[in-house]
Every structure is written in structure tokens, then in C-alpha cells.
Amino acid sequence: MTEKANLKTLKVRIKDKHKPTLERMAFEVNQVWNVANEITTHFSHLPVPEVGWLRTNFSAFDLQKDLKGIKAERGFILHSTTVQEVIAAHHKARRQFKTDQLRWRVSGGARRSLGWIPFKSGAAKWKSGQIYFAGHYFKVWDSYGLSQFAFRSGSFSQDARGRWYFNIVVEVAQTTSSAIGQVGVDLGLKEVATCSNGLKLESKQFYRELETKLGMAQRARKKDRVKAIHAQIKNRRLNHLHQFTTRLVKENTLIVVGNVSSSKLAKTKMAKSVLDAGWHTLKTQLDYKSKAMQAVFLEVNESYTTQTCSCCGCISPNSPKGRAGLGIREWSCPECGALHDRDVNAARNILALGHERLAGGILAL
């Protein structure tokens, strides 16, 4: 009996000496994308039987036939599967956004597209302690021990600072959590996340801590310094969230989170704090980590969870309501006399909603 496995994407940084080779490949990727875009744009202006005919009938396979010889004609050093993957991504984007003319990929200037080199399974290999791809060797900072994994599909990607990374999908052994806990999570700003068991993730306000340094660098027009500070903010936030979500998944088999919308709150006066909290990233991490540990992750409607007493279920006049009640951190229920911490009470109600959903099941559409 074969051992069950999960797919996982590993990301390692490539050493800077390989930057010229990767930038040339990225330029060639942009050329393939733009030629594909030129072809579909041309056909979109021709008379067709009905709206959307091109997206339905002009497939990625048709584009591949038209671009079959582009690698040899232009002397590209790209792997042949990269050309196929770029065309497939172009076709997928046309269907997703329902348009036949996508944005052009720009290789230079202030509005340049970040480098991206996709490939299919088997195109990249581990040889002599290095990544072997398209006839070139790339040294990386191997923090995972890549030699022990069988490479599948992946990509090379570039960040805003010009650093390159190798992203590869691999199979890892499936692990089952031995935890027995269950937890509800209420998302907020004073505490990024509050759990029904009292555990809290305090808001570090990473952006605000470095806001002064960032402003000085921006006024001095030090672009490289600005990018470095933004990267520092991002990395510190990710590390903070990773530590918290990993602990939750290790200790609980059921994790229920409220469906608070960061995109809606980002349009209010609380936008800076909302975006710095990273709610979407936190929920994404809980989702994929729960799947890897065979745990259950649910997102439920959190309406009235703050106002409802988690002990007796009543909504009293003195419970915190709306933004006007944000200053109320503790309140007591007049019906049962229970004293509540605002966020812990909401988290307990969110956990109860998760149990209701599990009991009722998910309705078929």
C-alpha cells in the first residue's frame, strides 16, 4: 500500500550571479506572451458568429501551433515547456477575464513586469547540488534539502528588489494531526486574532513601526531602500502570522474563522490598520496548513457574534454594537450574568456556528 502524499510548493532563493541568465529568459517569456496577445487581438477584430467565439474556439493548442517555431526563429534559450506554459497561462487569463486582449508584458522601465519563467514537470532537475534547467545550472540557498524530492511543475520568479526565486511543486508525506482541540477565531485590529480558548495574536503594526524610515527613504528618492523596507515589513508580518497559524493547526482539528472582509474595511478610515493586519494571509495559511494536517478549516458568517452572549444566546441592549461599540472591551449579559471579553465571546460564537455547519452539512447547489 502506497503512502498518501500531499503536494507542497517549496520556494528557495537563487544566487545573484545567475541574474543575467534569468533576466534573458524572462525577456523571452515576455516576447512569447506578447506575440500570443498580438495574435488573439488580431482575431478579436475579425467578424465572428457570436460574442466570445474566440475564447471558446481559439484554444491554447491553436496558439501553440502558430508559435511552434518561435523558439528556433528567435534563438531563445528557454525550455520548450516554458513556451507551452506561457501560452496556456495566456489562454486561461483570456477566459478568466473574458477578453481577447490582455496587458502586454513590459521588460524594462518603471512599469516593467516582474520576471516569471514557468515550466512543466520534468523540465527542472537536481544535479550536482544545483538546479539544472534549460541547459543551465543555478545555485540556490537550499533550506529544504531539495535532493530528497522529485520535482514536478514550477517556476522561476522575481521580486520587486530584483531577487530571483525557484518555486517547485513536490510531494510530501501526508501527516495526520494528533490534536483534539477545536477553536473559533475572531479577527480584529487591536488583536489580529482572538481564539475561543483565550489565545490572542497581538497586532505588531509592522508598517507603522517602519513608517518613519519608509517616509524618509521615499522623500530622499532612495528606491532601493524603499523596496528593502517594504520587504522587511512583509517578511516580519509573514513570520508573525506563520508562527501563530502553525501553533493553531498543531493544537486543533477544527478551526473556524469569521468571514470579515478586509476589502470592504479597507475603504474606511481604518484602512491602514486593516491592510497591515494581514487577515487574508492568515486565513490562507490556516486553509492550506489544515489540509496538510488533515484538519478541518471553516469560514462562517460572523454577523451578530459580538453582540450575542455565548452562554445563553441572547442579544442584550448593553452588548457592543457596530463601530460605536468598539471601545467596549468587556460586558456582562443581563440574562445569565456572564461576564464576557468582547473578542473571546465572539470567537466562541464563531466556533458554535462552525459546529452548526458541520451538523447541517453543505447544501448542494
**Domain C-terminal end among 141, 173, 205:** 173
CB 298 within 8 A of CB 358: yes
pLDDT tens by residue, the chain, 365 residues: 345 778 899 999 999 999 999 999 999 999 999 999 998 887 766 665 554 555 556 778 888 888 888 999 999 999 999 999 999 999 999 888 888 889 999 998 888 999 999 999 999 999 999 999 999 999 999 999 999 999 999 999 999 999 999 999 999 887 777 888 999 999 988 888 999 998 998 887 777 888 899 999 999 999 999 999 999 988 998 999 999 999 999 999 999 998 887 777 777 777 778 888 888 899 999 999 998 888 899 999 888 887 888 888 777 776 776 555 566 777 778 778 778 888 888 899 999 888 887 665 544 43
Domain match, 131 and 187 both: no
Quote the CA–CA distance of 83 and 90 in Å, as a whole number. 11
Domain match, 27 and 128 both: yes
In sequence order, what E strands does the chain have?
Answer: 5-13, 116-119, 124-127, 130-133, 136-138, 154-158, 164-173, 181-187, 191-195, 200-202, 252-258, 296-300, 330-332, 339-341
Domain match, 70 and 84 both: yes
User: How many structural domains does the chain have?
Assistant: 2
Domain match, 16 and 128 both: yes
What predicted TM-score, i.e. pTM, was given to this entire model?
0.81
User: What is the domain extent for residue 143?
Assistant: 5-173
